[in-house]
Amino acid sequence: MSSKSSVFATVAYTPPDAIFELTKAYIADPDTRKVNLGQGTYRDGEGNPWVLPAVEAAKDAIKNCNHEYLPILGHPPFRQLVTELVFRKESTVISGGRVASCQALSGTGALHVAGMLLRRALGQDRTVYITNPSWSNHRQVFESVGFSVREFHYASRDGIDMESLLQALTEADPSSIFVLHASAHNPTGWDPSPEQWRQIAAIMKERSLFPLFDAAYLGLTSGDYEQDAYAIRYFAGELDLEMGVCISFAKSMGLYGERTGLCAFVSRNHNIANNVESSLAQLVRSEISNPPAFGARVVTAILANDGLSSQWRRDLTTMSSRISGMRKQLCDELTALDTPGDWRKIIQQKGMFCVLGLTPEQVHYLKEKYHIYMAESSRVSIAGLNEGNVRYVAECIHQVVCQPEE
Ligand code: LMR
């Protein structure tokens, strides 16, 4: 190597992540009318970040905690309480000691460690299937651990495309991994009904496919944790399937920056779970040694205390009802303006997001002319709407939809 050549000469420039760039552009925009409908972060009725009252109280409760390392697999009561929360305390997967878990760096970290474990378990010639469209990070998380990733058509503008979903399940090689959004599908907001989940599960069981749930929105989707965990509990409890679940407390407790999550695998029996957990421990140790403590302590303080748990349930309702209220208002405003399009889908979809069905040009125009920021796919984070901006947003959408294409 000559003294002038660089070790990094082959490293190509990677464009920045689109959704984080959008947030950056929004923050830098000095226009007072600006509206951020990009990144999925909850905002209160005034457009500000919201620290949940349950979290505020939990922080107070743990203020005297020490700052020692956690065990490699994470804070033990956190793992236990979160596992019970997700699967139900009485679940046979818990009494049978069949859940292996490790604390993870929020949902993304949980998906990553799940990917590494599955690579180890299944080898690299398995395929990970993701929905099309899906969360923009899914593909690269699984490609980064060496899987090939395939997409299957998931939804049209009117709802889930069950035919193509069931076809993908029927045609996939056995032991393929399917990343399923447990609730609040990101970006479409179309979730399977319980009956559709049962259909999906039956084929997965019959064909020995592996379900990996991305469960980033449990509790926030409907305001009811139990309801949002339906698919996970059905797959694990009633169908007795081996599976993975990736939990995040970013959205459901507003712990965005604390990177607090859990990766859990349900396996055939306790001995297998024990082996899986030992493998998770080695993966975590080699990657981050041991996970961050603060967020896990906050979650534990809430889940271990009846009063704080009840407050958290109320906080979930506060967030989910404000989001559904804003869905309704946006739909009503667009309908009142007689904006061409079927806007009822805004209230039919669930969770934080909704895809408006605008063209990239229209999305660009909304940003440049009206300072309204959304993903290029026209996915909007409904939590960015409030009483003060929803009419403005509807009027601007009306303008771009009605103006002739240039
Ligand atoms: C989103 O989809 O906007 C959020 O999950 C934030 C992220 O990391 O992409």
The domain locations on the chain are: 18-51+309-399, 71-304
Whole-model pTM? 0.96
Pairwise CA distance, residues 383 & 41, whole Å: 7
What residue ranges line ligand 1, CB within 6 angstroms? 19, 39-40, 135, 137, 186
Q: By alpha-carbon position, which residue is closest to atom 1 of ligand 1? A: 40
Give tens-digit pLDDT for 266-287.
999 999 999 999 999 999 999 9
Residue 223 makes CB contacts below 8 A (sequence gap 6+) with 316, 317, 319, 320, 321
**Average pLDDT of the chain?**
96
Residue in this structure with the two tokens 């998906």, named with its chain if needed: 111
Check if 214 is active-site: yes
pLDDT of 1 strictly over 60: no
The letter for the amino acid at 401 is V
Check if 251 is active-site: yes
- Closest ligand 1 atom to residue 38 Cα is 3
Instruction: Specify the range with the lowest mean pLDDT, choosing from 2-6, 30-34, 78-82.
Output: 2-6
Q: Ligand 1 centroid vs 205 CA: distance in angstroms?
A: 30
Taking the CA of residue 195 as centre, how many other CA atoms within 13 Å lie in the half-sphere pointing to its CB?
2
Q: Which fold has domain 18-51+309-399?
A: Aspartate Aminotransferase, domain 1 (3.90.1150)
Q: Which fold has domain 71-304?
A: Aspartate Aminotransferase; domain 2 (3.40.640)
Catalytic residue among 50, 135, 197, 312: 135
Q: Ligand 1 centroid vs 38 CA: distance in angstroms?
A: 9
Which pLDDT score, from 0 to 100, does residue 2 have? 61
Q: Ligand 1 centroid vs 324 CA: distance in angstroms?
A: 19
pLDDT of 293 strictly over 70: yes
Which pLDDT score, from 0 to 100, does residue 204 have? 96
Q: Ligand 1 centroid vs 40 CA: distance in angstroms?
A: 5
- Closest ligand 1 atom to residue 381 Cα is 3
Which pLDDT score, from 0 to 100, does residue 238 have? 81
Q: Ligand 1 centroid vs 90 CA: distance in angstroms?
A: 33
User: Are 344 and 331 contacting, i.e. CB atoms less than 8 angstroms apart?
Assistant: yes
Taking the CA of residue 41 as centre, how many other CA atoms within 13 Å lie in the half-sphere pointing to its CB?
16
- Closest ligand 1 atom to residue 216 Cα is 5
Pairwise CA distance, residues 376 & 380, whole Å: 10
Give tens-digit pLDDT for 28-50.
999 999 999 999 999 999 999 99
pLDDT of 22 strictly over 90: yes
Residue 342 makes CB contacts below 8 A (sequence gap 6+) with 157, 158
Respond yes or no on whether the N-terminal peptide bond of residue 187 is cis (omega within 30° of 0): yes
CB atoms within 10 A of CB 14: 6
Pairwise CA distance, residues 56 & 301, whole Å: 11
Q: Based on the number of CB atoms within 10 Å of its own CB, is 98 exposed (0-12), middle (13-18) or buried (19 or more)? A: buried
Percent of the chain with pLDDT over 70: 99
Which pLDDT score, from 0 to 100, does residue 397 have? 98
Query: Best substitution site from 21, 36, 39, 43 to test ligand 1's pocket, by max atoms within 8 Å of Cβ?
Result: 39
User: Are 330 and 358 contacting, i.e. CB atoms less than 8 angstroms apart?
Assistant: no
